[in-house]
Amino acid sequence: MDHESFAALTSTDTGRRALVAAQTALAGSDDLLELTDRLRRSFTAELTAAALTQAMLRRRAMAKFGSIGQQMYFTPAGLEQSTRSPVAELRAQRYAEGGIGRVADLGCGIGGDMIALARAGLSVLAIERDPLTAAVAAANAAALGLADRVEVRRADVTTLDLSQLEVDAVFCDPSRRTGRGQRIFDPEGYQPPWIFLRKLPAQVPATGIKVAPGIPHRLIPAAAEAEWVSDNGEVKEAVLWFGSLRSSAARRATVLPTGATLIEPTAAADATADVPPIGPVAGYLYEPDGAVIRAHLVTQLATEIGAHLIDPRLAYLSSDTPVQSQFVSGYRVREVLPFQLKRLRAALRERDIGTVTIKTRGSALDPDRLRRQLRLTGIGSTIVILTRIDGRPIVILADPMPAGT
């Protein structure tokens, strides 16, 4: 889809009819050849292709944007790189609660964060270098009734004097994919690059910068609060907060959908507190949420729930009594065995197990291959946790802790 076909789709009656027809047709069939042939009877080839592409992107967008995704416009790359609405809304809430009136969204893409910021009541200056993507962002603001709160400006943010933008704060979500869609893990490869991002707070002190969850802690500026966010157990992002947007925390793990947050309140934590107590696998095992692990807050969590590590190199916690926490997945331990395939197979058959969920941490074993090797025929189910203690491979048989335990 090029800029011309997108303009025809959004700014002409024929284009709007084509999009409605494409969505209606797609709801009843996934046969693209048949759908294309049907729409070509009423619309040009270019408009048919643009409408079908948009209709398919809207269907995929439901997972990230919910019902408003059916009103929005997308590019394939823009949808892939956009933030899920619950995560963007969490971030926008910090700007709103921080007394920010006008915020610049640098490299706004198709406008996922722009929308969340505007819906939180802020005025948004959305800046995007790519002409088509900027047009999509503007169309989204209009489609959602936010045009009065949003100004979309096409520009390369690295060439702007940000101190002259007349905004109270900035947010930047740099591109972390190559032109071929491959993930970029080195911040120096971000667009805009890390050298630009580091200088943002000097121009606009109230700054938020989205980075990859795996960012090395050594790269996090001392002046920043680093927050890792997970959504339904999946780590989605890390954000560096500066200036008035920063809280008293040095590191923070936030889990959605509840919004529960765990913090390390001081930047200069006592180095001796980096490792919680070590002990054996007890009656209950806990797997910390990925945001807690990424934030290096396992020690903090262990202290809060009264648990210990089973190995200093692995983020598994254990305790003799059940604990409920929004920051862990809990399991009731059935048995702990040294890893031997025959012994594991025998233990599972003795319990009439036919279905296993295999989890690994610190183990190189392939879960699918192991599942085939077990050759189970029973009717029960259990969780098989493959891990290591003091370098020795072990197996933990466990059941999920029911809610309210």
For residues 318 and 287, is the Cβ–Cβ distance under 8 A?
Answer: no
The number of folded domains in the chain is 3
C-alpha distances in Å from residue 128, one per residue of 69, 105, 107, 135, 150: 20, 9, 5, 9, 13
pLDDT in the model for residue 28: 84
Is 353 part of any domain?
yes
Instruction: Based on the fold, state whether residues 256 and 114 are members of the same structural domain.
Output: yes
Asked if 54 and 84 sit in the same domain, the reply is: no
Which residues pair with residue 388 across a beta bridge?
393
The whole-angstrom separation of Cα 139 and Cα 7 is: 10
Q: Which domain holds residue 22?
A: 3-58
The whole-number pLDDT of residue 320 equals: 95
Residue 272's pLDDT is: 44
**pTM to 2 decimals?**
0.90
The pLDDT of residue 270 = 46
Q: Do both 215 and 125 map to the same domain?
A: yes
Judge if 193 and 54 occupy the same domain.
Answer: no
Q: What is the pLDDT of residue 179?
A: 67
**In the predicted model, is pLDDT for residue 152 greater than 60?**
yes
Cα separation, 237 vs 270, in Å, equals: 26
39 and 125, same domain (yes or no): no
State the pLDDT at residue 274.
55
- Report the C-alpha gap between 209 and 336 in whole angstroms: 44
Strand order in the sheet with 328-338: 308-309, 317-319, 284-288, 328-338, 392-400, 380-389, 353-360
Residues 363 and 302 both lie in one domain: yes
Gyration radius of the chain over CA positions: 25
Mean pLDDT confidence for 62-83: 93
Residue 238 sits in the same domain as residue 143: yes
Alpha helices in 272-315 (DSSP H): 290-294, 298-305
Q: What angle do CA 340, 345, 349 make, to 5 degrees?
A: 150
Q: What pLDDT is recorded for position 266?
A: 58
Grade residue 275 by pLDDT with cuts at 50, 70 and 90: low
Is residue 269 in a domain?
Answer: no
CATH number, domain containing residue 133: 3.40.50.150
CB atoms under 10 Å from CB of 42, counted, come to 12
Q: Is residue 322 part of a domain?
A: yes
